[in-house]
């Protein structure tokens, strides 16, 4: 007990002192002079710098999107290098100084980014020990590391002294041995998040708070239709406003610039653009006909064994079902924001981009500059949950700054974010399945209709598109993932039909594709369990050999007090209760998660309330258990919102759900309880946790609604209208 | 034409010069006075990220003209406490680790403060109802509720 208390106090102390470090970090990022350093991901010095004051700077290409990654990466460095948490500063996503570790997405920050950093630190530690051994003239085995020093008995030397002459310019040694998990004292502990004290007191500097001397404020003015042409601009009234600076027009890109933020907002309201009439969007009421009617550019099997078509043909009782999943917006609470400056042909752009290296490439491409003429610097913004409008705001800012030759801040308004962030695309899925004589699933056939995926990942910058400047093709993310299913079924084919068009610029939103595909997979498995007259959780276990997957399901059964029975529950009265289960092994190669959702359905109003979600989660080695819990809770609650409420609405010209009234999200009175059972496997690789739980939530809720009411909802969101319609159909 | 408005901000008299009396208080606080607690979320009074107290009442600073608060007393998140000396509600949010991106947290704390100022012993339902018009996108709701409960216990 004493140890635990002492270590918690140390952590709190560390967190407190790091707040100080944190407040100067953006200033450090602001500095123009940066000594040249290597950026390669297979070098120690790419990631780690030991400074003369014996503090450590971590240069991380992975960024903290409000998920606690910064704290977790700091823990990894503290653990491997044996330095106090308070001695570590983190520079994130600065293209001049941080390695390109790929975009911060896909639940890969720890699994991939963190492991590159761990290996670099293990290499550094071995080198420091070797140098210290030479200095002490003792064998390496007798040198220990502690508190940023190498020790031999009572003698010690700081890391700073060991790198003073030679530096730490090393290739990462893939054979350098990281510490054994049993020796961990920092990793695996619930270290308090380093950013929270500043965030709850107004000290934290978000992207939206960043200011430069002489900076102007801009607002963008978006077209009246997605692809409407800008025919004319009357900015007479805007020009009369105090502090007005300029109207910036590049093709269909339009912005106003003013001395003050409010001045820019007023100018954006006063300007009178004339847009061409454009009505190229499908009818919202016939969206799924539109998707089904869209040309397929390519079909590919993502899972194939046996001959499901032949088995299905012989089965008179084969089941068929079609599922659909609405268009979603990211819904960041803070609309996107960026600051850009041009100086001597050099562009610097501060952005909350999850992918500053990719953004730099895209900005250079758009402006026809060499990549080294563009520097992108990450500053944390509002949570983005994928590729929201952050990068688009960055492109807006560089375009406006180029025109006015002064630093410019672009802040999107709420309607810009809801209307113009790239969207989670509409997803349509067809399923066929059959039971064998043994009551197990004999054949499984699934097909998903989703936007095509160009060779290069990256979402078109809106400004480049509007201004008709060079840009890559739009990529919706790896939304084919999650259709391949995790169960032992002899005959399976899962096919992705890539569609040549999708109504809106598409991008990834938390668990992209995996959420939609798992919704259909796990709903359909439930439908087969129902047809087989089996308990849905036992039915899953009957088709699963993987011991880690089985353990997740068994533990979620225990956690939720699951008693086996066949659905539906057959309660009577207006408000009926039900429970539903869902399971996935993320992308079939990593994190296991099983969930039980409990719902109440009001049969009179059609309202669904998710009262409680139970999650069993196995992501291998846990770096920070409290951070993990925070992520899982967030995954559950955010996805309950997406499942029950969310749907982008539009007319033939543009998005019409432009605020929180027309695109409602879950509120406090509706938030479910969340219980968790975290399965820690210290000797296994650490896998991601930012997405997997989200993937299983919609199906668990739909399965619970079926359990409660006996009706099957195959369309997200599960709105009261759809529930009532389904109930009416059956009665 | 320039207008000057004087009001108290976190206990100190401040004067702002603005072009437009209709400019929302939020921009005076953020752009003229350099405060970071109140945040721009929607500009429509729908999300609560910009919440401050005016004469002790929680208001949406994005929807209140700066001219309307002349002579009044405004408290922002910074006025409650600092990382070095947090208010018990801020301390409770730290203890419960009740933030993910944290962008909404200003509103959560300021709204919770308004609740606890008039109800020292709120039930869980009271807390949920008090925060019903404050939006969080990261799904930190459960922790925020626990933080307000912890703050209530600490302040009781």
The alpha-carbon gap from A633 to the nearest alpha carbon of chain B, in Å, equals 7
Is the CB of B41 inside 8 Å of chain A's CB atoms?
yes
In this complex, which of B27, B76, B128 lies closest to A261 when CB atoms are compared? B27
In this prediction, does ipTM exceed 0.95?
yes
Rounded Cα–Cα distance for residues B86 and B109 (Å): 12
pLDDT given at position A533: 97
Q: What percent of chain A has pLDDT over 90?
A: 91
The string of pLDDT tens digits covering residues A592-623 is 999 999 999 999 999 999 999 999 999 999 99
Find which of B30, B99, B139 to mutate to test the A interface (most A CBs within 10 Å of its CB).
B139
CATH no. of B3-79 = 3.10.20.30
Rounded Cα–Cα distance for residues A268 and A413 (Å): 10
Residue A334 and residue B103: Cβ atoms within 8 Å? yes
Nearest Cα neighbor of A178 from A169, A187, A170 is A187
Q: Which residue has the tokens 């400074």?
A: A51
DSSP state of A686: B
Rounded Cα–Cα distance for residues A244 and A256 (Å): 8
| Mean pLDDT, residues A620-646 | 96
| Mean pLDDT, residues A418-426 | 98
Rounded Cα–Cα distance for residues B37 and A401 (Å): 27
Q: Which residues from chain B sit within 8 angstroms of residue A635, using beta carbons?
A: 139
- Give me the domains of chain A, ranges plus CATH numbers: 2-196 (3.30.365.10), 207-277+330-420 (3.30.365.10), 427-730 (3.30.365.10)
pLDDT given at position A106: 80
Q: What percent of chain B has pLDDT over 90?
A: 99
In this complex, which of A201, A266, A665 lies closest to B83 when CB atoms are compared? A201
User: Would you kindly state where each structural domain of chain B is located, as residue ranges?
Assistant: 3-79, 81-155
Q: CA quadruple A703, A705, A707, A713: dihedral positive or negative?
A: negative
Nearest Cα neighbor of A337 from A390, A388, A374, A387 is A390
Residue A202 and residue B140: Cβ atoms within 8 Å? no
Rounded Cα–Cα distance for residues B56 and A658 (Å): 32
Is the CB of B25 inside 8 Å of chain A's CB atoms?
no
- Mean pLDDT, chain A, integer: 93
What's chain A's Rg over C-alpha atoms? 27
Q: Which residue has the tokens 């350098």?
A: A176
The string of pLDDT tens digits covering residues B48-101 is 999 999 999 999 999 999 999 999 999 999 999 999 999 999 999 999 999 999
**Does the pLDDT at position A136 exceed 70?**
yes
Kindly report the number of other CB atoms within 10 A of residue A609's CB atom. Answer: 16
Nearest Cα neighbor of B92 from B144, B156, B37 is B144
More reliable by pLDDT, A95 or A111: A95
pLDDT given at position A34: 52
| Mean pLDDT, residues B140-152 | 98
CB-CB contact of A119 with A172 (8 Å): yes
**Does the pLDDT at position A111 exceed 90?**
no
pLDDT given at position B156: 86
Q: How confident is the model at residue A107 (pLDDT cuts 50, 70, 90)?
A: confident
User: Which of A:192-211 have CB within 8 Å of B?
Assistant: 192-193, 195-206, 208-209
CB-CB contact of A678 with A625 (8 Å): yes
pLDDT given at position A104: 86
pLDDT given at position A456: 87
Q: How confident is the model at residue A2 (pLDDT cuts 50, 70, 90)?
A: very low
Size of chain A, expressed as the number of residues it contains: 731
Distances (CA, A) of A119 to A174, A322, A449, A503, A531: 7, 46, 40, 44, 50
DSSP state of A669: G
Rounded Cα–Cα distance for residues A16 and A19 (Å): 5
Is the CB of B5 inside 8 Å of chain A's CB atoms?
no
Rounded Cα–Cα distance for residues A94 and A74 (Å): 17
Q: Cα angle vertex A481, ends A477, A483, to 5°?
A: 135
- Mean pLDDT, chain B, integer: 97
Nearest Cα neighbor of A399 from A224, A505, A255 is A255
pLDDT given at position A8: 34
Residue A262 and residue B27: Cβ atoms within 8 Å? yes
pLDDT given at position A91: 96
The alpha-carbon gap from B63 to the nearest alpha carbon of chain A, in Å, equals 13
Q: Which residues from chain A sit within 8 angstroms of residue B115, using beta carbons?
A: none
Closest Cα in chain B to A661: B46
Closest Cα in chain A to B34: A209
pLDDT given at position A521: 98
Residue B137 and residue A383: Cβ atoms within 8 Å? yes
Q: Which residue has the tokens 């007191």?
A: A201
**Does the pLDDT at position A14 exceed 50?**
no
Distances (CA, A) of A259 to A216, A302, A341, B108: 5, 54, 15, 31
Residue A637 and residue B42: Cβ atoms within 8 Å? no
**Does the pLDDT at position A516 exceed 80?**
yes
pLDDT given at position A95: 96
More reliable by pLDDT, A591 or A455: A591
The string of pLDDT tens digits covering residues A72-97 is 999 999 999 999 999 999 999 999 99
Long-range pairs for B122-129: beta carbons < 8 A, 24 or more residues apart: B122/B148, B122/B152, B124/B149, B125/A669, B127/A668, B128/A668, B128/A669, B128/A671, B129/A668, B129/A669
Q: Which residues from chain A sit within 8 angstroms of residue B106, using beta carbons?
A: 202
Q: Which residues have a Cβ under 8 Å from the Cβ of A183 and sit 6 or more positions away? A: none
Q: Which residues from chain A sit within 8 angstroms of residue B35, using beta carbons?
A: 202
Strand order in the sheet with B51-54: B12-18, B3-9, B73-75, B51-54, B57-60
pLDDT given at position A108: 82
Rounded Cα–Cα distance for residues A616 and A594 (Å): 5
Look at A7-11, A557-561, A700-704, B104-108 and tell me which has the smallest mean pLDDT.
A7-11
Is the CB of B21 inside 8 Å of chain A's CB atoms?
no
**Does the pLDDT at position A561 exceed 80?**
yes
The alpha-carbon gap from B125 to the nearest alpha carbon of chain A, in Å, equals 7
Q: Which residue has the tokens 């991939």?
A: A112
Is the CB of A9 inside 8 Å of chain B's CB atoms?
no
Q: Would you state the torsion angle of the CA atoms of residues A265, A266, A269, A270, taken in this order, to the nearest 10 degrees?
A: -140
Is the CB of B124 inside 8 Å of chain A's CB atoms?
no
In this complex, which of A196, A242, A637 lies closest to B19 when CB atoms are compared? A242
pLDDT given at position A28: 41
pLDDT given at position A37: 85
Is the CB of B82 inside 8 Å of chain A's CB atoms?
yes
pLDDT given at position A289: 98
Nearest Cα neighbor of A381 from A15, A19, A25, A64 is A64
Helix (H) or strand (E) holding A5: helix A2-30
Q: Which residue has the tokens 């405004």?
A: B74
Burial of residue A86, with CB atoms counted within 10 A of its CB: 0-12 exposed, 13-18 middle, 19 or more buried: buried
Is the CB of B78 inside 8 Å of chain A's CB atoms?
yes
Q: Given 3.40.50.10470, 1.10.10.10, 1.10.150.120, 2.60.40.10, which CATH number is that of B81-155?
A: 1.10.150.120
pLDDT given at position A12: 34
CB-CB contact of A590 with A718 (8 Å): no
């Amino acid at each position: 007990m004493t140890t635990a208390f002492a270590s918690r106090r140390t952590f709190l102390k560390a967190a407190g002192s790091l707040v100080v470090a944190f407040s100067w970090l953006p200033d450090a990022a602001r500095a123009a002079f940066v000594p040249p350093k290597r950026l390669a991901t297979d070098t120690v010095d790419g990631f780690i710098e030991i400074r003369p004051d014996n503090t450590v700077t971590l240069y991380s290409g992975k960024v903290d999107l409000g998920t606690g990654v910064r704290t977790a990466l700091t823990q990894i460095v503290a653990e491997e290098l044996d330095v106090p948490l308070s001695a570590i500063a983190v520079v994130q996503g600065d293209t001049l100084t941080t390695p390109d570790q790929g975009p911060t997405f896909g639940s890969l920050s720890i699994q991939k980014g963190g492991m590159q950093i761990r290996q670099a630190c293990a290499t550094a530690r071995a080198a420091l020990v070797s140098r210290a051994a030479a200095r002490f003239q003792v064998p390496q085995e007798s040198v220990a590391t502690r508190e940023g020093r190498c020790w031999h008995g009572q003698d010690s030397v700081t890391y700073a002294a060991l790198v003073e002459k030679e530096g730490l310019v090393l290739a990462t040694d893939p054979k350098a041995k990281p510490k054994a998990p049993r020796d961990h004292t920092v990793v695996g502990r619930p270290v308090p998040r380093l950013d929270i004290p500043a965030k709850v007191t107004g000290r934290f500097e978000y992207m939206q708070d960043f200011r430069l001397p002489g900076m102007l404020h801009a607002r963008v003015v978006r077209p009246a239709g997605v692809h409407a042409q800008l025919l004319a601009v009357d900015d007479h009234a805007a020009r009369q406003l105090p502090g007005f600076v300029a109207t910036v027009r590049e093709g269909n890109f339009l912005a106003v610039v003013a001395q003050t933020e409010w001045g820019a907002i007023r100018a954006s309201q006063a300007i009178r653009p004339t847009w061409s009439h454009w009505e190229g969007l499908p009818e919202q009421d016939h969206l799924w006909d539109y998707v089904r009617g869209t040309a397929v550019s390519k079909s590919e099997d993502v899972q194939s064994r046996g001959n499901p078509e032949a088995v299905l043909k012989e089965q008179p009782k084969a089941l068929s079902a079609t599922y659909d999943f609405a268009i979603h917006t990211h819904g960041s609470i803070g609309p996107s924001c960026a600051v850009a400056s041009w100086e001597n042909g050099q562009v610097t752009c501060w952005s909350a981009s999850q992918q500053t290296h990719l953004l730099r490439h895209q900005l250079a491409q758009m402006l026809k500059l060499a990549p080294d003429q563009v520097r992108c610097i990450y500053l944390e913004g509002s949570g983005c949950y994928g590729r929201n409008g952050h990068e688009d705001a960055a492109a807006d800012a560089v375009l406006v700054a180029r025109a006015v030759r002064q630093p410019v801040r672009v802040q999107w308004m709420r309607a810009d974010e809801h209307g113009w962030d790239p969207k989670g695309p509409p997803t349509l899925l067809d399923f066929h399945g059959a039971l064998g004589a043994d009551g197990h699933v004999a054949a499984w056939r699934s097909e998903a209709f989703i936007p095509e995926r160009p060779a290069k990942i990256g979402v078109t910058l809106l400004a480049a598109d509007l201004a008709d400047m060079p840009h890559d093709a739009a990529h919706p993310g790896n939304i084919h993932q999650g259709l391949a299913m995790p169960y032992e079924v002899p005959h399976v084919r899962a096919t992705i039909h890539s569609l040549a068009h999708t109504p809106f610029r598409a991008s990834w939103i938390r668990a992209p594709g995996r959420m939609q595909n798992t919704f259909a997979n796990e709903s359909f498995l439930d439908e087969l369990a129902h047809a087989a007259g089996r308990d849905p959780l036992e039915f899953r276990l009957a088709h699963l050999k993987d011991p880690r997957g089985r353990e997740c399901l068994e533990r979620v059964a225990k956690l939720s007090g699951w008693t086996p029975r066949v659905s539906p529950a057959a309660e009577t009265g207006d408000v009926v209760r039900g429970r539903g289960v869902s399971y996935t092994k993320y992308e079939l190669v990593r994190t296991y998660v099983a969930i039980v959702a409990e719902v109440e359905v009001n049969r009179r109003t059609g309202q669904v309330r998710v009262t409680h979600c139970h999650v069993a989660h196995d992501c291998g080695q846990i770096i920070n258990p409290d951070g993990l819990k925070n992520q899982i809770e967030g995954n559950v609650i955010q996805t309950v919102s997406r499942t029950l409420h969310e749907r982008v609405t539009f007319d033939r010209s543009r998005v019409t759900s432009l605020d929180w009234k027309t695109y409602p999200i879950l509120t406090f009175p509706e938030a479910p309880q969340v219980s968790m059972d975290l399965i820690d496997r210290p000797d296994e690789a650490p896998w991601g946790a930012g997405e997997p739980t989200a993937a299983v939530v919609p199906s668990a809720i739909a399965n619970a609604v079926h359990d409660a009411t006996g009706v099957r909802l195959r369309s997200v969101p599960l709105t009261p209208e759809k529930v009532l319609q389904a109930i009416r159909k059956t009665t | 034409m320039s207008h000057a408005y004087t009001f108290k901000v976190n206990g100190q008299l401040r004067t702002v010069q603005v072009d437009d009396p209709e400019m929302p208080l939020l921009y005076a606080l953020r752009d003229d006075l350099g405060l970071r607690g109140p945040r721009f979320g929607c500009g429509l009074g729908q999300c609560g990220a910009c919440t401050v107290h005016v004469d002790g009442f929680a208001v949406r600073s994005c929807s209140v003209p700066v001219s309307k608060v002349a002579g009044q007393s405004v408290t922002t998140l910074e006025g409650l406490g600092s990382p070095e000396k947090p208010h018990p509600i801020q301390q409770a949010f730290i203890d419960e680790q009740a933030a993910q991106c944290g962008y909404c947290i200003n509103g959560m704390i300021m709204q919770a403060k308004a609740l606890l100022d008039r109800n020292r012993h709120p039930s869980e339902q009271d807390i949920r109802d008090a925060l019903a018009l404050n939006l969080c996108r990261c799904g930190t709701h459960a922790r925020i509720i626990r933080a307000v409960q912890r703050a209530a216990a600490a302040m009781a």
